[in-house]
Amino acid sequence: MRHTLSIRTRLAAWYTGVLIAIVCSLGAMLYAAVRRTAIADADAVLRSRLADMAPFINGRLHGRHAAELAHEFETHLSGLAPGGTLLQVSDPQGRWIYQSASIRSYEISATAPGEAGAVTLATVRHGGAVLRVISSSIRADGHVYAVQLAISLTGQFQMLDRLRDTALWLLPIAAALSWLGGYWLCGRALAPVDEMVTTAGSISASRLDLRVNAPRTGDELQRLGDTLNAMIERLDRGVRRITDFTANAAHELRTPVGILRTTAELALHERATDEDRKAALANVEAEAVNLTAILDSLMALARSDAGEHEGLSADVDLNTLAETAVRRISPLARTRQIDLTWNVPEVPVMVRGSRGALLGLVTILLDNAVKYTPAGGQVKVSLETRIDDVLLQVDDTGIGIAPDDLPHIFERFYRADRTGAAEGGGSGLGLALARSIADAHNARLDVHSTPGAGSTFQLRMAARRNQSDSVRS
Ligand code: ADP
C-alpha cells in the first residue's frame, strides 16, 4: 500500500526546504559579494601602488648590478606605504634581483616578464595565507624585469571562512527549528479543517441541523466551510422533504384504506343484506380508484424528483398536445356543464420536452379548472407564441384561490379550503406534480386568481427557435 505523508508534514517540509534554499542562496551570494569586494579593493590598492613605485624601480634598475639593486631596494623601499615591502623583482632568466624579506616566506614563483606595462593579477595561497599579487614588467637597459607586488588578504578570507563555517553549523539547527515552526504553523492553519471534519463526522441523517464552523477569513477555509454548510443545508432540506412527503403520503393513504376496511367489515357483518354488500363493493371500487389515482400521482412525483422524464428533448407540438388534453377532459366538462373552449394557432407550436409529461401537466391544469368551476362556468385554453417563448394559458371562471392559499398551492398535499368547491377534489398532489414537470422543462408555471371570479394558470416555455418564426405568421 502506498503511504503518502500527511499534508501537515509535507507543508512543513516544503516550508523548511524553501527557507533553507533562500538562506543558502542569500548566504552564498553575500559570501561571493564580500569576497569579490575584498579582491577588488586589494586590486585597486595594488594598481595604485604599482603606479607609484614603477618610476622608482625603473630609476634604480638603470645601470646597476643585481647586488647593488638589492641594497638600493632594501634602503629605499622600507619607507614606502605599509605592505609595500611585499615586493619581488626578477630578471628575464627568472633570477631574483630583489625579494623583500616579508614576501620570501610565501614562495611566490617569479613570472616570466611579458610586454612592458602589461599587468596581471592573481590570488595566491600559501599555507593558510592568501595573497593578491600584481605582476608587471619594467624595461630598463634593454632588459625586461618582472615586478611583483602583493597584498595580504588572509585576514578578510579567514573572517569569511569563519562566517561560512558558522553558517554551515547553524544551518541544520535552523532547518530543524524552521521545520518545527512550520509544522506548528500548519497545525494551527489546519485546525479549523480538523474541527470541520469532527463536526461533519458527527452529522447523520438525524443531526442535519448541525453546521460546521466556517472561519470568517475570506479564504479557502471559509469557502470550504460555507460549501460544506450549503451542502448540509441542501441535504437537510432534501431529507425533510422526503420525511414530510412520506408522512403526508402515509396520512393520505390512511383515509381510503380505513374506508376500505370499515366497508369490508360492514359487508362481512352477518346481518348485512345483499344490497348492503353491493353498496359496499361499489364503495370499495370507488376508493380503489381514488387510491390508484393517489398512488399514480405519488409515483409520478417520485419519478419527476429523480429526473426520470423520458425524452426531455423530444420535439413536441403544444398545439396538438393541448387539443388532446381538451378532448380528454371534455366528457368531465360536459358532465359538470362547463363550457370548455380552446383558442390555438393553426400552425404547430413546437417546444422541446417530454410529450407524456407535458400532456400530464396540461391535463392537471384543465382537470383543476373544471373541478373548481361551478356548473355553467367557462374554461378556456389558449396558446400563443411570442418572441422567445410560448405561453399556454388555462382560464376558468371558477371559485378562485384565496390570496393566503396562493403561495402554497404548488406544495405537495396542499389543498386550499374547498368550501364551495365542486366535489371530487384530489389529494393535493396535482399542482406539485405540474410544477415539478415544468421545472424539469425549465418552464415557468404561474397562477393569478381572484376568489369568486376565477383563476388563470400560465405555462411559459422556450420556443424551439427555427419553428417559432413560422408559427408567428
Ligand atoms: P387537488 O388534487 O386538491 O386539486 P392540486 O395540487 O391540483 O390538488 O391543487 C391544490 C389546490 O389548489 C386545490 O386543492 C385547490 O384548492 C387549488 N386549486 C387548484 N386549481 C384551482 C383552480 N383552477 N381554481 C381554484 N382552486 C384551484
Architecture of domain 311-472: 2-Layer Sandwich (3.30)
Q: What number is the average pLDDT over the span 381-394?
A: 92
CB 405 within 8 A of CB 390: no
Ligand 1 near 401 CB (within 6 A): yes
Q: Is 234 exposed, middle or buried (0-12, 13-18, 19+ CB in 10 A)?
A: exposed
C-alpha dihedral, 461 to 463 to 469 to 473, nearest 10°: -40
Atom of ligand 1 nearest to the CA of 415: 14
Domain boundaries, the chain: 7-160, 220-304, 311-472
pLDDT per residue as tens digits for the range 76-112: 665 554 445 788 888 777 777 777 777 877 878 777 7
**Cα–Cα distances in Å, from 29 out to 24, 32, 37?**
8, 5, 12
Q: What number is the average pLDDT over the span 234-256?
A: 83
Strand partners, 470: none
Q: Choose which residue among 298, 409, 446 to substitute to test ligand 1 binding: the one with the highest number of ligand atoms within 8 A of its C-beta.
A: 409
Q: Return the pLDDT at 417.
A: 60
Q: What number is the average pLDDT over the span 141-161?
A: 86
Q: Choose which residue among 329, 365, 372, 456 to substitute to test ligand 1 binding: the one with the highest number of ligand atoms within 8 A of its C-beta.
A: 372
- Whole-number Å distance, alpha carbon 331 to ligand 1 midpoint, is 20
pLDDT score of 22 more than 90: yes
Q: What is the mean pLDDT of the chain?
A: 84
Q: Which three cell numbers stand for residue 263?
A: 366497508
**What number of CA atoms fall less than 13 Å from residue 368's CA on the CB side?**
28
DSSP per-residue codes, 371-387:
HTS-TT-EEEEEEEE-S
CATH number of this structure's domain 7-160 = 3.30.450
Atom of ligand 1 nearest to the CA of 457: 23
Strand partners, 303: none
Q: Return the pLDDT at 4.
A: 77
CA dist 364 and 353 (Å) reads: 17
pLDDT score of 409 more than 90: yes
- Whole-number Å distance, alpha carbon 428 to ligand 1 midpoint, is 7
pLDDT category of residue 29 using cuts at 50, 70 and 90: very high
Q: Return the pLDDT at 420.
A: 43
Contacts of 117 (CB under 8 A, 6+ apart): 136, 137
Q: What number is the average pLDDT over the span 406-431?
A: 75
Q: What are the two backbone dihedrals, phi and then psi, of residue 380, each rounded to the nearest 5 degrees?
A: -125, 135
- Whole-number Å distance, alpha carbon 365 to ligand 1 midpoint, is 9
Atom of ligand 1 nearest to the CA of 394: 23
pLDDT per residue as tens digits for the range 32-81: 999 999 999 999 998 888 887 777 777 776 666 666 777 777 676 655 54
Q: Which of 290-294, 375-379, 402-406 has the lowest mean pLDDT?
A: 290-294
Q: Return the pLDDT at 53.
A: 75
pLDDT category of residue 339 using cuts at 50, 70 and 90: very high
Atom of ligand 1 nearest to the CA of 400: 25
Q: Return the pLDDT at 31.
A: 93
pLDDT category of residue 422 using cuts at 50, 70 and 90: very low
Q: Which three cell numbers stand for residue 76?
A: 629605499
Strand partners, 133: 122, 150
DSSP per-residue codes, 418-467:
-TTPPS----S-HHHHHHHHHHHTT-EEEEEEETTTEEEEEEEEEPPHHH
Q: Return the pLDDT at 376.
A: 94
State percent of the chain over pLDDT 70: 89
Ligand 1 near 428 CB (within 6 A): yes
Q: What number is the average pLDDT over the span 398-421?
A: 83
- Whole-number Å distance, alpha carbon 429 to ligand 1 midpoint, is 9
CB 419 within 8 A of CB 399: no
**Cα–Cα distances in Å, from 207 out to 47, 231, 268, 456?**
86, 14, 48, 42
Highest-scoring range by mean pLDDT, 91-105, 242-256, 364-378? 364-378
Residue indicated by cell numbers 418564426: 469
Ligand 1 near 396 CB (within 6 A): yes
Locate the DSSP E strands across 318-422.
339-343, 350-353, 378-385, 389-396
- Whole-number Å distance, alpha carbon 118 to ligand 1 midpoint, is 110
Highest-scoring range by mean pLDDT, 73-82, 209-218, 447-456? 447-456
Q: Choose which residue among 255, 298, 304, 368 to substitute to test ligand 1 binding: the one with the highest number of ligand atoms within 8 A of its C-beta.
A: 368
Better-predicted residue by pLDDT, 445 or 115 = 445
Better-predicted residue by pLDDT, 312 or 453 = 453
CB 351 within 8 A of CB 322: no
Ligand 1 near 455 CB (within 6 A): yes
Overall CATH class of domain 220-304: mainly alpha
pLDDT category of residue 381 using cuts at 50, 70 and 90: very high
pLDDT score of 133 more than 50: yes
pLDDT per residue as tens digits for the range 347-365: 889 999 888 889 989 999 9
- Whole-number Å distance, alpha carbon 431 to ligand 1 midpoint, is 7
Q: What number is the average pLDDT over the span 425-442?
A: 86
3-state secondary structure 44-62: HHHHHHHHHHHHHHHHHHC
Q: What number is the average pLDDT over the span 135-159?
A: 84
Ligand 1 near 434 CB (within 6 A): no
pLDDT category of residue 136 using cuts at 50, 70 and 90: confident
Percent of the chain that is helix, strand, coil (3-state, to 5): 55, 20, 25
Q: How many CB atoms lie within 10 A of CB 217?
A: 11
This prediction has a pTM of 0.56
